[in-house]
Amino acid sequence: MKKRRKFIFILTAIMITAAGLTGCSTFGGNRSEPSFGPRIESASGAFEDRIPESSSFKPLPEMTSAEFEQLGDVSFSRGDLSKAFVRYEKCLGAEPENKRVTYKKGLVLLAGNLNEEAAEVFKALIAEAPDHALAWEGLGRAFFQRKDMENAETAFKKAVSLDVRLWKAHNCLGMIYDARKQHDLAIDAYISAIAENPREATVYNNLGFSFYMTGNYGEAIEAFGKAIEHGMEESRVYNNMGMAMARAGEHDKALTAFSRAGGKSRAYNNLGCIYLSEARYDNAVACFEKALNTSPGFYVEASRNLKQARAGLHNANSPNAISQ
């Protein structure tokens, strides 16, 4: 792997959100979860049917465990975690050995960021069914959200050894490897995730990040393009695309990508930072000046960068500068 200079910007490796893991944000999620813990307790008391004391009302028939599960699924899909939790608990009250619903209960706890409680649910499920691949993945997610990456890695590896189709586990493994700067391992993990779910845009973005970090800018551009193609048209992806294009020498295309990420002024500033990191001071000065002319409100950041670029240009033109 060839050495590269450090640069100012940090590419965004997208983290998977807790409930859908799409996002192992949010690597944190991008969605702020509702307040969960206190609502479970209050909802438990409010959930019981209140039958008015009147002869004109007849008691409703008792709901079956299957009906409670279905209602829990509906609540979970709507993001109403407290109701989902209560309804799954009702189902498990009638069928305590129901592994499917126990797993769903663990997912609700994960979505509410109650990671320790979720881990206990998944551990109990694994104790009863050691080959429960989804429970291993859920346990990995609980560890991941607690930033316990060593145990998360162990759980995710076990999950994919039991079921290679678990793309979320592959993706989380990739993010763990990226955090350790083991980018080649991350690339393999993301490719495995894409093989199982070729339409998941966030994985392509993560793959592009790993390619970028290994200096494979062409592959990074292609991966970021796939992320956009599959619907991830967010500023962070266009910024990542611009970074890869600039490093690949495609500066005009990089400027277009940066513009889609944050407007013309920021585009010129970002491209100027690339030039600055490459010691191309004259190009950097030109970009920072354009950033200031395009948007005077961008003055503080661009002017600071312009000052640094002019200082670098002055030093490079000094008679005492060493030439290679």
Do the Cβ atoms of 199 and 54 come closer than 8 Å?
A: no
**Contact between residue 234 and residue 203 where contact means Cβ atoms under 8 Å apart:** no
Instruction: Work out the pLDDT band at 58, boundaries 50, 70, 90.
Output: low
Q: What is the pLDDT of residues 118-147, one digit of tens each?
A: 999 999 999 999 999 999 999 999 999 999
Answer with the residue of higher pLDDT: 8 or 180: 180
Show the tokens assigned to 216.
Answer: 């494979």
| Identical fold, 1-33+113-248 and 259-318 | yes
With H, G, I as helix, E, B as strand and everything else as coil, classify residue 189.
helix
**Torsions phi, psi of 122, nearest 5?**
-70, -35
Cβ contact 208:223 at 8 Å: yes
Contact between 252 and 226 under an 8 Å Cβ cutoff? The reply is no
**Which of the residue ranges 132-136, 151-155, 175-179, 299-303 would you say has the lowest mean pLDDT?**
299-303
The two structure tokens encoding residue 304: 């600071």
> CB count, 10 Å around CB of 276?
23
Question: Which token pair is 30?
Answer: 């991008």
* CA atoms of 278 and 11, how far apart (whole Å): 17
Confidence of residue 259 (pLDDT cuts 50, 70, 90): very high
**Alpha-carbon radius of gyration of the chain:** 26
Q: How far is CA 213 from CA 229, 276, 279, in A?
A: 22, 19, 20
pLDDT at 28: 33
Other beta carbons less than 10 A from residue 13's beta carbon: 21
The widest CA-to-CA distance across the chain, in whole angstroms, is 102
**Mean pLDDT to the nearest integer, 78-83:** 95
Please state the rounded mean pLDDT for residues 220-239.
Answer: 96
CA distance 105 to 198: 28
Residue spans of alpha helices (H) in 146-250: 149-162, 167-179, 183-196, 201-213, 217-229, 235-247
Q: What per-residue confidence (pLDDT) applies to 256?
A: 96
Higher per-residue pLDDT: 312 or 66: 66
| Residue 21 pLDDT | 34
CATH of 1-33+113-248, one of 1.20.1070.10, 3.30.70.2190, 1.25.40.10, 3.60.15.10: 1.25.40.10
Q: What is the pLDDT of residue 61?
A: 65
Query: Read out DSSP for 71-123?
Result: HHHHHHHTT-HHHHHHHHHHHHHH-TT-HHHHHHHHHHHHHTT-HHHHHHHHH
pLDDT of 207 > 50? The answer is yes
Q: Do 179 and 27 touch, CB atoms closer than 8 A?
A: yes
Predicted pLDDT at 10: 29
Given this model, what pLDDT does residue 298 score?
61
Both structure tokens of 183: 């980018």
Average confidence score pLDDT of the chain: 81
Q: What pLDDT is stored for residue 182 in this prediction?
A: 98
For residue 22, which phi and psi values (nearest 5 degrees)?
Answer: -125, 120
Q: Tokens 């640094």, residue?
A: 308
Q: In the predicted model, is pLDDT for residue 150 greater than 70?
A: yes
CA angle 25, 28, 29 (to 5 degrees): 30
Nearest to 257, CA basis, from 313, 208, 310, 191: 208
Which pLDDT score, from 0 to 100, does residue 321 have?
Answer: 36
The 3-state DSSP composition of the chain as helix, strand, coil percent (nearest 5) reads 70, 0, 30
Q: What is the CATH number of domain 259-318?
A: 1.25.40
152-165 mean pLDDT:
98
At residue 309, the pLDDT reads 66
Is the pLDDT at 41 greater than 60? The verdict is no
Is pLDDT of 17 > 70?
no
Lowest mean pLDDT among 16-30, 161-175, 179-193, 243-257: 16-30
Domain boundaries, the chain: 1-33+113-248, 259-318
pLDDT of residue 312: 61
What would the two tokens of residue 180 be? 């350790």
Mean pLDDT of 245-252: 95
Question: Sorting pLDDT into bands at 50, 70 and 90, what band is 201?
Answer: very high
